[in-house]
């Protein structure tokens, strides 16, 4: 499991197809779930496949983007909601791919995020 930081990463030097000038777009809600070799030769030549989950959202509202202790609850709720959503998809994906250890790890993250979200709602 890899959780990326913000940015676009130039990967053309490590790609099997450097002429494509490939980049990976990453953000705080991009989660790389699996990287594997293409067994079916889908593009006509061997290639590595990266499967990732990207959650896009709008955080530019004042309560979630401006610093200040009075906004902590909004930020905590937002983080918990994103983590719950991301983890639900990750658990389902890992179960479908037979990645049992990863599914278990994501289930634990999901349980903790649901607990955090419940705490926020009950304040």
pLDDT tens sequence across 47-94: 778 888 877 665 555 554 566 677 788 888 888 998 999 999 999 999
Query: SS3 helix, strand, coil % of the chain, rounded to 5?
Result: 45, 20, 35
Question: How many domains, in total, are found in the chain?
Answer: 2
- 123 and 73 part of one domain: yes
d(CA 100, CA 112): 18
- 44 and 82 part of one domain: no
pTM exceeding 0.75? no
- 26 and 62 part of one domain: no
- 72 and 38 part of one domain: no
- 46 and 72 part of one domain: no
End-to-end CA distance of the chain: 32
Enclosing domain of residue 100: 58-123
- 98 and 117 part of one domain: yes
Q: Which residue shows structure tokens 């649901």?
A: 114
- 44 and 80 part of one domain: no
d(CA 119, CA 123): 6
């Amino acid at each position: 499991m890899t959780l990326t930081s913000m940015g676009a990463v130039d990967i053309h030097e490590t790609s099997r197809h450097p002429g494509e000038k490939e980049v990976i777009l990453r953000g705080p809600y991009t989660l790389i779930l699996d990287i594997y070799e293409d067994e079916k030769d889908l593009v006509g030549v061997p290639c590595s496949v990266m499967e990732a989950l990207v959650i896009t959202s709008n955080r530019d509202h004042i309560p979630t983007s401006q610093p200040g202790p009075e906004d902590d609850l909004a930020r905590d709720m937002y983080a918990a909601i994103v983590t719950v959503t991301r983890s639900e998809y990750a658990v389902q994906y890992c179960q479908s791919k037979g990645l049992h250890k990863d599914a278990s790890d994501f289930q634990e993250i999901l349980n903790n995020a649901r607990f955090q979200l419940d705490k926020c709602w009950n304040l």
